[in-house]
Chains A and B, each alone.
Chain A
Amino acid sequence: QQPVQSPQAVILREGEDAVINCSSSKALYSVHWYRQKHGEAPVFLMILLKGGEQKGHDKISASFNEKKQQSSLYLTASQLSYSGTYFCGTEIDSNYQLIWGAGTKLIIKP
């Protein structure tokens, strides 16, 4: 089952914060987050393994609630460079086969 991402799209002003959610109906082994800029390939941001850990680099972090089968991506003090479509990829059976969400389009305005 494809994970559900929300919101589908969000428009922010530079410096504002955003949260993107990814929910699955199945128990998850891991959640991946990727960003795809227009006309480019998706780029890996981070992976979260079951255990409820939170990860981050720079001003982008993520959490994974194993009990709720949900992950959230947090973008703090957004920069213009954060614009793009964010995808979560969920792994159910530790077989490294990802099931992808439909993406969340993030637009950052000056």
Chain B
Amino acid sequence: DTAVSQTPKYLVTQMGNDKSIKCEQNLGHDTMYWYKQDSKKFLKIMFSYNNKELIINETVPNRFSPKSPDKAHLNLHINSLELGDSAVYFCASSHRSSGTPGYTFGSGTRLTVV
């Protein structure tokens, strides 16, 4: 069973469009994250969501909005896509008191804005 699954794996879209990326985890973790990884491989935290508390990275444009219907899901909606949004987006989850204390990442969504 996939622990953290993201869909879609690839997303090619035009500037100005709105798109969503879905993430689901079946690990029972209580915290979920969205990361952006650019071409230089730097991992930039965008959002973390723990027990209905949303922590926002202030540098993230408000075109990006996370939505968490429940603890197992954290989706990312992006409005008015720009060329600079092209990157790989990773969802991750964690639970400090679990047997696996590290973050578990999804396989990533490669977003290309043309």
Contacts and interface: CB of A to CB of B under 8 A. Distances in A.
A97 B48 contact: yes
- Could you tell me the dominant secondary structure of chain B's interface residues? loop
B104 interface: yes
- Among the interface residues B31, B45, B103, B108, which one has the most CB atoms of the partner chain A within 10 A? B103
Contacts, number: 45
A98 B42 contact: no
Interface string A33-44: 010100011111
B34 interface: no
Nearest to A94: B96
Nearest to A39: B108
B111 to A, nearest CB: 15
Contacts of A79: none
A64 interface: no
Given A41-B90, A44-B102, A47-B101, A100 B43 contact: yes
- Chain A contact residues (Cβ within 8 angstroms of B): what range? 20 to 34
B42 A102 contact: yes
Interface in B9-54: 31, 40-43, 45, 48
B100 A42 contact: no
A80 B102 CA distance: 24
B96 A34 contact: no
A97 B41 contact: no
Nearest to B41: A103
A44 B43 contact: no
Given A32-B103, A96-B31, A98-B45, 17 more contacts: A34-B102, A40-B107, A42-B90, A42-B103, A42-B105, A44-B102, A44-B103, A45-B102, A46-B102, A47-B101, A85-B41, A89-B103, A96-B94, A98-B103, A102-B40, A102-B41, A103-B43
Interface of A: 32, 34, 36, 40-47, 85, 87, 89, 96-98, 100, 102-103
Interface of B: 31, 40-43, 45, 48, 55, 90, 94, 96, 100-108
